[in-house]
């Protein structure tokens, strides 16, 4: 790994800042001052110090983000992406969102560089629950709940596992509903298409939980670092 990248990923400073630190001789590698910004080091074994303080490299990072509407779940796009919401000190070239939330959908999104965990969380075989709160044009009934509980086919060979639908509120006058829905896949526009299947329209959608991770009181556009303790149940799923 390049030395300047190592320093940014150990949160010494921004990319521009760490270059200045290196040029000023404030960084040592294995006891020797290193002024070459592009010097290659073994990130797992090299003894790197900044201003006399030993740095510890984290192989994997995990951020829980409250994605706002209008932001794209991608690493690169002409429009604003979820990675643009990270502070410069937390940006790494290998971070990506685990799955996608539609541009007009808000809620919990995991950002990480742990490819194996991402694969496991998205695999239908793992049955990781994703819970959503939604506002619906239409009256959700006990019959709707039963239909969702039986699973469904959205189109040929696209089967959806049984899901758990709960009515939060119903407004008979304006014919709208508020619901909580637990699904086990993460197919394209899945929640919206499930309600289209029963002749209803999703007007607002928010993911509030993924596995054991919950959004809590995290404000839109904000994120926080997840601890090892929080990640253990997901890794051991």
- Among candidate residues 127, 141, 107, the one with its CA nearest the CA of residue 218: 107
Contact 101, 143 (CB under 8 A): no
Contact 189, 102 (CB under 8 A): yes
For residue 165, give both structure tokens. 């639908």
Query: In the block, which residue shows the tokens 């758990």?
Result: 164
Active-site residue, from 90, 102, 120, 157? 102
For residue 166, give both structure tokens. 């709960």
Cα Rg, the chain, nearest whole Å: 22
- Among candidate residues 181, 216, 186, 193, the one with its CA nearest the CA of residue 107: 216
Q: Is 102 a catalytic residue?
A: yes
Which residues are identified as catalytic? 102
């Amino acid at each position: 790994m390049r030395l300047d990248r190592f320093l940014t990923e150990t949160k010494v400073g921004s990319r521009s800042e760490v270059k200045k630190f290196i040029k000023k001789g404030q960084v040592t590698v294995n006891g020797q001052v290193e002024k070459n910004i592009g010097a290659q080091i073994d990130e797992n074994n090299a003894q790197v110090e900044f201003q006399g303080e030993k740095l510890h490299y984290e192989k994997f990072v995990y951020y829980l983000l409250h994605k706002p509407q209008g932001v794209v779940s991608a690493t690169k796009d002409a429009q604003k992406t979820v990675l643009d919401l990270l502070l410069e000190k937390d940006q790494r070239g290998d971070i990506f969102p685990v799955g996608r939330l539609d541009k007009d959908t808000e809620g919990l999104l995991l950002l990480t560089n742990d490819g194996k965990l991402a694969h496991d969380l998205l695999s239908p075989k793992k049955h990781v629950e994703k819970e959503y709160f939604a506002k619906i044009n239409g009256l959700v009934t006990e019959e709707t709940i039963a239909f969702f509980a039986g699973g469904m086919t959205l189109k040929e060979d696209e089967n959806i596992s049984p899901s758990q639908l709960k009515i939060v509120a119903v407004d008979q006058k304006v014919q709208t509903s508020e619901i909580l829905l637990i699904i086990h896949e993460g197919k394209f526009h899945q929640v919206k298409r499930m309600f289209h299947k029963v002749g209803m329209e999703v007007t607002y959608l928010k993911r509030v939980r993924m596995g054991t991770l919950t959004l809590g009181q995290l404000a839109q556009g904000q994120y926080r670092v997840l601890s090892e303790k929080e990640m253990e149940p997901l890794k051991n799923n």
